Chains A and B, each alone.
Chain A
Amino acid sequence: MLAVETWKCGSAARFPVRDLIAALLDGDGPAAYELAERVLLETRSRTAVFADLLHPAQAEIGNLWYAGRVSYADEVRAAVHVRRIVERLAPTPEPRPVRRGSRCVLAVPHGDPHDVGLMMLSRALEDHGWSTELVGPARGLADLPEIVLSRRPRLFGLSAALLPPLAQVEQAIAAIRQARVPVLLGGVAFNRRPDLWRRLGADGLGTDVRVGVVLAGRLGGR
């Protein structure tokens, strides 16, 4: 088990990210869920749990994996527990939702099994009044414009952890934007290259769930 420092001060004390990392790497699902529920009770916002607790913990575990300090199995086990937490947390509808009928289509590229981030965004958007539809990873990038345009959403979101073929992404974005549907990118693959979204012609980069929700409202929800 990796030793994770647990000292905390100031705002770090409010969100027990390090405690969650320790619980996730220990495989202690109940403890991890308890921490998430505690933050949910305190903040009364599922979006806050996603953005301030689960996402930072997963990002840190990803960094530990990059540095060779935790194994692939540790990382996958942690992701499984995070997924369970995301699925179990109760909705927390926001008092000022977006206007009725705001629909969003979300997708991960074909061959990318990492969809927990997209699940979080989907649930956070639903808390803010959006209706969301997830397009599974079985769909190819070339199919996305047709699927998206048939749904006529106010926003399309694409999340990737493994960098997809960029020429295909660029073509899909151009086709979707041509139909006046704004495109929001997110996920590790795009977050690690902060300017990539601009080069691909997207409308914005949702670096975490909370940023994604505000951008979605700005780009397509109001």
Chain B
Amino acid sequence: MTASMADLTFAIGEVAAMLGLSPHTIRAWERRHLVVQPMRTTAGQRRYSADDIELLRQIKHERHVHGLSMRVATLTAQGLVVPDDGQGAAGPPAPAMDGGADPLRLVADLVPEVVVMVDTQGRVAHANTAFARLCEVTVGHVRGTPLADYVDPFDRAKAVQAYQEPLRRRRGWELNLRTARRRAFFSFDCWPITAAEGPLVALVGRDLTAEAPPPEALDGAAPSGPGPLDGLPGGAFTNTLSALLDE
């Protein structure tokens, strides 16, 4: 059997070919910026591991795509700095930190649950990134649109009750949401809140269809593969919100 990449190490010429850089550049990065410390053979030749190569590739990406300095690119590729424009991270970007942005708002964009706030007329006042992704629009496009646009026609009457009569204290609703590709079944917790713009209803929803979707339902459902929050425990945000509101 051929040796796996996990066991292989690579000479600087191979690394240069993999990265599209010259060996001179790679040596300079090591010498001046200490980005990687490759192993050495007994003859003193550098041998790079798969992890070394991936780090160098990410540094190159940060420099080429974002024009970052070598120092910042290295820190970013190592995950030690999160660029404040939300575009520079090697993995999925952190939410944009606009001046004075509410940190809780940023957290809402990181959780897997959909969070949508509607006014008493049923118009979306705020939505998080998970909701926008589900509906295949941008966060900006969701605002001001009727919640009914995203709810299955059979469940629209239930949705109206959720935002028109929140004080009836029914906190849980199960609604089928409608997206371009599939119908998604969500369990929503509803919370009446008072915001600067007036009374709103916060709907925090967990996807109940996501447990075992048939492969056909996933066809083209996500353009770039699994999201950055894969593996997070479902319901974490809902539970936290419940605890905060109960206090």
Residues of chain A having any CB pair with chain B under 8 Å: 5, 7-12, 14-15, 17-18, 48, 51-52, 56, 59-60, 62-73, 75-76, 79, 110-111, 113-114, 160-163, 177, 180, 182, 187-189, 192, 194, 197-198, 202-205, 207-208, 210-211, 214-215, 218-220
| Contact partners of B8 in chain A: CB under 8 A | 204, 218
| Contact partners of B132 in chain A: CB under 8 A | 68
Q: Determine if B57 is an interface residue (Cβ-Cβ < 8 Å).
A: yes
Measured in the bound complex, the distance between the Cα atoms of B10 and A203 in whole Å is 14
| Contact partners of A111 in chain B: CB under 8 A | 215-216, 218-219
| Contact partners of A198 in chain B: CB under 8 A | 6
| Contact partners of B6 in chain A: CB under 8 A | 198
Q: Given the interface contacts A60-B87, A161-B224, A180-B2, does A208 sit within 8 Å of B57 by beta carbon?
A: yes
Asked if B65 contacts A160 (CB within 8 A), the reply is no
| Contact partners of B61 in chain A: CB under 8 A | 56, 59
Number of interface residues of B (CB under 8 A): 57
Q: Determine if B99 is an interface residue (Cβ-Cβ < 8 Å).
A: no
Q: Given the interface contacts A12-B63, A69-B96, does A160 sit within 8 Å of B225 by beta carbon?
A: yes
Measured in the bound complex, the distance between the Cα atoms of B221 and A76 in whole Å is 11
State which of B10, B133, B219 has its C-beta within 8 Å of the C-beta of A113: B219
Q: Determine if B166 is an interface residue (Cβ-Cβ < 8 Å).
A: no
A-B contact count (CB 8 A): 156
A54 to chain B, nearest CB (A): 12
Q: Which residue of A lies closest to B7 (CB)?
A: A203
Binds A, one of B14-22, B38-46, B233-241: B14-22
Q: Given the interface contacts A162-B218, A203-B5, does A12 sit within 8 Å of B65 by beta carbon?
A: yes
Asked if B109 contacts A68 (CB within 8 A), the reply is yes
Asked if B224 contacts A65 (CB within 8 A), the reply is yes
Q: Determine if B23 is an interface residue (Cβ-Cβ < 8 Å).
A: no
A52 to chain B, nearest CB (A): 6
| Contact partners of A197 in chain B: CB under 8 A | 5
Residue among A52, A68, A69, A177 with max Cβ neighbours from chain B (10 Å)? A68
| Contact partners of B218 in chain A: CB under 8 A | 111, 162
Measured in the bound complex, the distance between the Cα atoms of B91 and A163 in whole Å is 16
| Contact partners of A73 in chain B: CB under 8 A | 136
Asked if A192 contacts B57 (CB within 8 A), the reply is no
| Contact partners of A162 in chain B: CB under 8 A | 218, 221-222, 225-226
Tell me which residues from 72 to 117 in chain B have a Cβ below 8 Å from any Cβ of chain A. 85-87, 89, 91-93, 95-96, 109
Asked if A114 contacts B225 (CB within 8 A), the reply is yes
Measured in the bound complex, the distance between the Cα atoms of B4 and A56 in whole Å is 26
| Contact partners of A15 in chain B: CB under 8 A | 64
Asked if B87 contacts A68 (CB within 8 A), the reply is no
